[in-house]
Structure 1
Amino acid sequence: MNKNQQAEFVKWFGPLLDALRELGYSGKPKEVSDTIAKNLKLNESVLDAALKSGANRFHNQVAWARQYLTWEGLLDSSERGTWKLTEKGKNTKLNQEESRKLFLKWVEINQKARKSKSSIQSIKEQEEEDPESIEIPAESTLIDVLQSLSPSGFENICKELLREHNFENVQVTGKSHDGGIDGFGILEINPFVSFKVLFQCKRYKGSVSRAQVGDFRNAMIGRAEKGIILTTGTFTNEAIKEASRDGAPQIELVDGKKLVQMFEKVELGVKPKVVYEVNLNYFQKFKD
């Protein structure tokens, strides 16, 4: 492999470690990405760029940076859904040259483990694929299935999903010219408190924009205090800010990744499967 060949996500190695230290040594993936973006003052063009699949490029690159740092033993992969620094990681800082050396080390190790693919092929794959899809291939498969449904079919599967997550009296309205509201349900917090929730379903491969979130909120006014937008795609950074804007009804955003997690949690249309990932870092010490 050309020694200059390098994936873009390598530049996030050091900032990712710094972000986790700032967050108290652990954090959710979105928290980590947001902290990196804040610390480096990244512009919207970087934060909203998408891959061919429609996934967010920046978040995907940060996820790949996390994967390499995990292989190196700097992050703990035992707790799913939370990124946590190991003792080694707490005391490690990486500049670009150190990050590059770490990257090349693991590209070589992985290339030997996957003899059918060259190092350059592996790097190109990592630029476009989600590292989680390697560990859980069903994720991309489920998204593909959901995106293949008819618009009304996707609305009805979202209705079933909300029912499984304890919503009651869930209905799909099926009305056109209704401001983008596809249905509603009742969420009971306790025997004394419950409220109406409106929802919108977007069977997207791309991103939901700030304007679309604003339009949905406008349609909610006077009808409900809470709304949910579910999509098989992603949300732009500005859409996320709009959803939680102060002084306006709050809107919950469920992107493709979270949607998959919701299906998996209640095992709706999916069956659990145990997958073991080889810890290459563990076996590396036995090669010397």
Structure 2
Amino acid sequence: MKRSAPLVPTFDSMLIPTIQALQILGGSGTTEEIYDQVVQILDLPDKVLEIPHGSTSQSEVEYRLGWSRTYLKKYGLLQNSARGVWSLVSTSINLDNLDTKEIVKAVRDAEKCKVVSSEPTIETFESIEPLELAWHQQLHKMLLTLEPSAFERLAQRLLRESGFIQVQVTGKSGDGGIDGVGIARINGFLSFHVLFQCKRYQGSVTAGQIRDFRGAMQGRTDKGLLITTGTFTRDAIKEATRDGAPPIDLIDGEQLVQRLKELGLGVKIATIESVEVDTAWFAKI
């Protein structure tokens, strides 16, 4: 008997849960916080969360949830800051008064998008995908083509640009998966040693791999950093911050490409100047 593929919720079915998530979070939250809350609200299993979106570092759920936020913003229910924090326009939104079909229709009409089917799915929007996602996909594909040693050097540069000092790539065989070491400085006064590991692939890092990394850290440092072009399972995220164990910070593919953009590493940002003639100004002369 053929097993059916796990059902990924459509973007429109996550519109109301996104509002609920922000209400639970007190009216505002980061992309990651919203994602975690929506996953809990919909009780999505790992087999669904681990389904990738094409060749990008995003999962299909993350991708579709991104469209949920976009539609809610265009509909006037959400806003987001330059720091990536999303917030409700009003804290008194009544979920009973929201109609997902009306939200989708209103936004599509505003964007002059043709409705392809009565039950929209994410494929409907491939043609209007934001330009930002194009560079995002291109950068992620570039990362996947790097040799392991080149990816380790990139991680080294990333940490240096982020304020780490004495960053060295070790990458020795039999070193328990430790790819490098560095010292993080805080406000120029405090510092602590960090061991980091790099995983250049599209899959999800598991809790077992987190435990293996922590085992390699044993007795060498109190802090770890794991950088991947892929994602982390929910169990892996929990394991990384488990009580009583040395903490391990996690950087997934989504965070990695965003950080590279912020630091201008392998990404060129062009600013387009817009000039308008102020006719009202001349009328006052």
Return the TM-score normalized by structure 2.
Answer: 0.82
**1:47-79, Cα deviation, whole Å (9 max, x unpaired):** 333333252222222221111111111111454
The alpha-carbon distance between structure 1 residues 129 and 93, as it changes in their structure 2 partners (threshold 3 A), is farther
Q: How does 1:150-189 map to 2 (within 5 A)?
A: 150-189=147-186
Alignment of 1:1-288 (within 5 A): 8-53=10-55, 54-87=57-90, 90-93=92-95, 98-110=99-111, 112=112, 119=116, 123-125=121-123, 134-274=131-271
Residues of 2 paired with 1:193 and 1:130: CA distance? 47
Q: 1-side partners of 2:144 and 2:126: how far apart?
A: 19
Larger Rg: 2
1:136-181 alpha-carbon deviations (Å, 9 max, x no partner) = 5322221111111111000011101111111111111121121111
Task: Give the 3 Å change call, closer, same or farther, for CA 178–11 of structure 1 in structure 2.
Answer: same
SS in 2 for 1:186: strand
SS in 2 for 1:178: coil
Quote the Cα distance in structure 2 between the aligned partners of 1:79 and 1:258. Answer: 15
Structure 1 residue 191, shift from structure 2 partner = 4.7
CA distance in 2, matches of 1:145, 1:183: 22
| Identity percentage of aligned residues | 43
Amino acid in the other structure paired with 1:103: V
d(CA) in 2 for partners of 1:206, 1:130:
27
The Cα shift of 1:124 comes to 4.5
Q: Counterparts of 1:49 and 1:221 in 2: how far apart (Å)?
A: 33
Matched to 1:44, the amino acid is: D
CA distance in 1, matches of 2:227, 2:125: 26
- Aligned to 2:95, what secondary structure does the other structure show? coil
For residues 170-222 of structure 1, what are the alpha-carbon distances to aligned partners after superposition, in whole Å with 9 as ceiling and x for unaligned?
11112112111111111122554321100011111121111111111110011
2:244 aligns to what SS in structure 1?
coil
Q: TM-score, normalised by structure 1?
A: 0.81
SS of structure 2 residue aligned to 1:8: coil
- On the 8 A contact 1:225/1:249 being kept in 2, the answer is yes
Instruction: Report the secondary structure of 1:24's partner residue.
Output: coil
Query: What's the C-alpha RMSD, in Å, of the aligned pairs?
Result: 2.8
Q: Hey, what's the Cα distance between the residues in 1 that align with 2:128 and 2:221?
A: 36
The 2-side partners of 1:107 and 1:52 are apart by: 24
Q: How many residues align?
A: 262
Amino acid of the structure 1 residue aligned with 2:84:
G
Q: Deviations over 1:14-35 (max 9, x none)?
A: 1111111121211001111111
- SS of residue in 2 equivalent to 1:205: coil
1:284 aligns to what? Answer: none
CA distance in structure 2 between the aligned counterparts of 1:71 and 1:26, rounded to whole angstroms: 17
CA contact (8 A) 2:116 2:124 kept: no
Q: What are structure 2's unaligned runs of at least 5 residues?
A: 1-8, 274-285
